[in-house]
Amino acid sequence: MPAGSNTLEQGLNNAATLTDETGGTQTDTDCAQVPSIDITKSIDGEPVKGPDGSWTVNYTITAINDGAATGAYDLTDRLRYGAGIQVKTATITSAPEGVTPSPTWTGQGADGDPVNVVASDVELGAGGTHVYQVQVVATLDTAAVNESTFTCPAPGSGEPGGFANTAGIDHNDLTDSAEACDTPDKPSDPGTPGKPGKPGGSLATTGATLAWVAGGAALLLLLGALALIAARNRRTTIS
């Protein structure tokens, strides 16, 4: 389309029309280039349980500017962990070159809390990508767990659950968000048959079975002894 002839209603397109004294018109247009910054969030691999029982979860946050101009954004990252999951450490392990993450970030604040802010007023060029990596180490308080501990919440619900995490981005009064979630393993219930190291279950059943076997063997021995005595008594009487 020739320059100045685009009269479509799109983007920040602007058209100006000049009308002269004869009624003739001349129209010219121009369109400002704007940024368009989106965000994605993922968990790197599966949560890893350490020898001390703690869980390590690694996340990747990616900001992408697929617009036609440089834009500035604010980035937040909020942990929405389930009941009984206690954060030991939360760290921004990697950030784009030239970006300094906020030293007050913890990710453990309520929605809108400044402690969820990762970085502010970060410029991202047209077609550019920024990648952040986050690592969280958490422990599981088994006395405080409930169903939310082992279940990821519905996307977009904002509810806590598992290792749920929401990253948000704000630019030009526009917002976008992305979520990622996984869960810790659910501990086995005590006394479950076949679970090594658990009380009851197979061991209790085995003990009962052995008792019945021993009792049956003793009864057979007694019956055999009585039969032997009876047989001897018959031989004595015949003699």
pLDDT given for residue 92 in this prediction? 98
The owner of tokens 């968990």 is 43
DSSP state at residue 153: P
Q: From its phi and psi, is residue 98 left (phi > 0), alpha (psi between -120 and 50) or beta? A: left
> Per-residue pLDDT tens for 50-98?
999 999 999 999 999 999 999 999 999 999 999 999 999 999 999 999 9
Q: What is the pLDDT of residue 94?
A: 97
Q: What confidence score (pLDDT) does residue 121 get?
A: 97
Tens digits of residue pLDDT in 180-193: 999 999 887 444 34
Was domain 37-180 assigned CATH 3.30.429.10? no
- Compare 217 and 12 and report the one with higher pLDDT: 217
Q: Is pLDDT of 39 > 70? A: yes
The three-point CA angle 171-156-114 to 5° equals 50
Return the domain boundaries, the chain: 1-32, 37-180
Residues 11-30 pLDDT 10s: 443 445 666 566 666 655 44
> Would you state the pLDDT for residue 231?
58
| Predicted pLDDT of residue 193 | 44
169: pLDDT strictly greater than 60: yes
**How do residues 101-150 score in pLDDT, each as one tens digit?**
999 999 999 999 999 999 999 999 999 999 999 999 999 999 999 999 99
Q: What are φ and ψ of residue 195, in 5° steps?
A: -95, 115
